[in-house]
Amino acid sequence: MVTIAAVIPAFNEGRHVAEVVRGTAPFAVGIVVVDDGSADDTAARAREAGAVVLRHETNRGKGCAIRTGLAHALALPCSHVLLIDADLQHDPAEIPRLVACAEQGRGDFVLGERDFRKEAMPRARYYSNTIGSAVLARFIGAPVRDSQSGLRLVRADLLRRVPLTATGYEIETEMLIKLVRAGARLDRVTVRRLDYTGARSKIRPVRDTFRTCMLAVRYRYLAG
128-166: per-residue pLDDT in tens? 555 556 556 666 666 777 888 899 999 999 999 999 999
Taking 60 as the threshold, does the pLDDT of residue 198 lie above it? no
Burial class (CB in 10 A: 0-12, 13-18, 19+), 203: middle
Give me the long-range contacts of 102-107 (CB less than 8 A, separation at least 24).
102/2, 102/153, 102/155, 103/1, 103/2, 106/185, 106/187, 107/184, 107/185, 107/186, 107/187, 107/188
Given a cut of 90, is residue 177 above it in pLDDT? no
- Give the chain's mean pLDDT: 84
pLDDT in tens, 4-35: 999 999 999 999 999 999 999 999 999 999 99
Euclidean distance between CA atoms 194 and 51, whole angstroms: 24
pLDDT at 48 over 90: yes
For the chain, give every domain's residue range. 4-222
Helices 171-181 and 62-73: angle between axes, nearest 10 degrees: 50
pTM over 0.85: no
Tens digits of residue pLDDT in 52-99: 999 999 999 999 999 999 999 999 999 999 999 999 989 999 999 999
What is the pLDDT, as a whole number, of residue 58?
Answer: 98
- CATH superfamily, with its number, for domain 4-222: Spore Coat Polysaccharide Biosynthesis Protein SpsA; Chain A (3.90.550.10)
